[in-house]
Amino acid sequence: MDFLVTGGSGFIGSHIAQALVERGHSVRVLDNLSTGRLSNLDDLAGKADWRQGDVRDRQAVAQAVSGVRCVLHVAALPSVARSVQDPLGSNETNVTGTLNVLLAARDAGVERFVFSSSSSVYGDTPVLPKQEDMPPRPLSPYAAQKLMGEQYVRLFHSLYGMKTFALRYFNVYGPRQNPDSPYAAAIPRFIRCLKEGRPPVVYGDGKQTRDFTFVRDVVAANLACVTAGSDAAGQAMNIAGGHRVSILELIAALQRIMGTRISLSMEAARTGDVRDSLGDVTRAARLIGWRPETTLDKGLAETVRSFVSVSGAA
């Protein structure tokens, strides 16, 4: 078996699994369906080895990793808000689960391990763009958990020789992102509201900025780690769009694409949210030859089309 994708029924994981299958690789998916959806893998029916299991279950993880050459570890309990409400529950998946997968990968002789981390590890430091050598300042349990995952990934490279990579994603968006979760990301929530004629909810003044990254570019970064040279192993790298936009500007762009003019609902800022975010992708370009290729306008248009298409089919 070439690859194991943990969390492979989720938003990002399913895109990674599909890309690997399309390139002719044998792929196994491990997912407990707590946030993922089987429908995300409809196009891979009979083409991937899907297993329902939890990364907190060491036996299930060991069985899933057996015979695998490379692990792409995407499984997590996402959301800053969720981690603030339930720090222990998210820690069990995001830290203990990650350690379980790393241990199983080490014991199975896995060659490469790619960890999905988060730009949230930087916290609210005022310096922009964020660079990997900046001191991390997590503002939420989720951010702290991702940082701990990075430390374990780095240690497994230095202690056991496994080629490991930590990718710090900046606000990933795209088709298949679930708008129904109470912890849904901004873009699918905004699209759903605009489509239904409801005011999108904006937390804070809306002038906070984000660096949005299209999911296809995130997939490309994961695949680049599979073939990257040894000098990239053990490193954390920003995976970002390289351009920041305010939440108000983002909604305005979506309104233009969707042809809507709907007022906004402003609410108080949320605890643990970062004010501004922008990623420097110089290190990823140098070490794994990766740069983002999808502009925000192009990515938003494709995302909107996918939501309209899915809704129309339903």
Contacts for 238 with CB less than 8 Å, ≥ 6 apart = 119, 130, 131, 132, 168, 170, 279, 280, 281, 283, 284
CB-based contact 32:53 (threshold 8 Å): yes
Tell me how far apart the alpha carbons of residues 4 and 226 are, in angstroms, rounded to a whole number.
Answer: 12
The CATH architecture of the domain made up of 3-172+214-240+279-293 is: 3-Layer(aba) Sandwich (3.40)
State mean pLDDT over 23-45: 96
Closest of 131, 248, 130 to residue 186, by C-alpha: 248
User: pLDDT tens, 176-234?
Assistant: 998 876 656 899 999 999 999 999 999 999 999 999 999 999 999 999 999 999 999 99
Tell me how far apart the alpha carbons of residues 72 and 89 are, in angstroms, rounded to a whole number.
Answer: 22
Query: What pTM does this model have?
Result: 0.94
Q: Which residue in the list 142, 152, 169, 173 is annotated as catalytic?
A: 142
Confidence band, pLDDT 50/70/90 cuts, at residue 54: very high
Closest of 294, 81, 79, 314 to residue 195, by C-alpha: 314
First to last CA, the chain: 35
Contacts for 110 with CB less than 8 Å, ≥ 6 apart = 65, 68, 69, 70, 71, 162
User: pLDDT tens, 264-291?
Assistant: 999 998 877 788 999 999 999 999 999 9
Contacts for 3 with CB less than 8 Å, ≥ 6 apart = 17, 20, 25, 26, 27, 28, 68, 69, 70, 71, 72
Q: Residue 183's pLDDT is what?
A: 56
Q: Residue 270's pLDDT is what?
A: 83
Left (φ > 0), alpha (ψ -120 to 50) or beta: where does 291 sit? beta
Q: Residue 85's pLDDT is what?
A: 93
Q: Residue 182's pLDDT is what?
A: 60
Q: Residue 310's pLDDT is what?
A: 54
Q: Which two tokens stand for residue 3?
A: 């690859």
Does the pLDDT at position 169 exceed 50?
Answer: yes
Q: How many CB atoms lie within 10 A of CB 37?
A: 16
Closest of 153, 163, 133, 99 to residue 238, by C-alpha: 133
Tell me how far apart the alpha carbons of residues 293 and 310 are, in angstroms, rounded to a whole number.
Answer: 25
**Structural domain boundaries in the chain:** 3-172+214-240+279-293
Does the pLDDT at position 308 exceed 70?
Answer: yes
State mean pLDDT over 5-22: 98
**For this structure, is 203 an active site residue?**
no
Does the pLDDT at position 309 exceed 90?
Answer: no
User: pLDDT tens, 87-129?
Assistant: 999 999 999 999 999 999 999 999 999 999 999 999 988 899 9
Share of the chain above pLDDT 70, in %: 97
Place of tokens 């946030």: 35
Backbone angles phi, psi at 54, to 5 degrees: -115, 135
Tell me how far apart the alpha carbons of residues 85 and 68 are, in angstroms, rounded to a whole number.
Answer: 35
Does the pLDDT at position 141 exceed 90?
Answer: yes
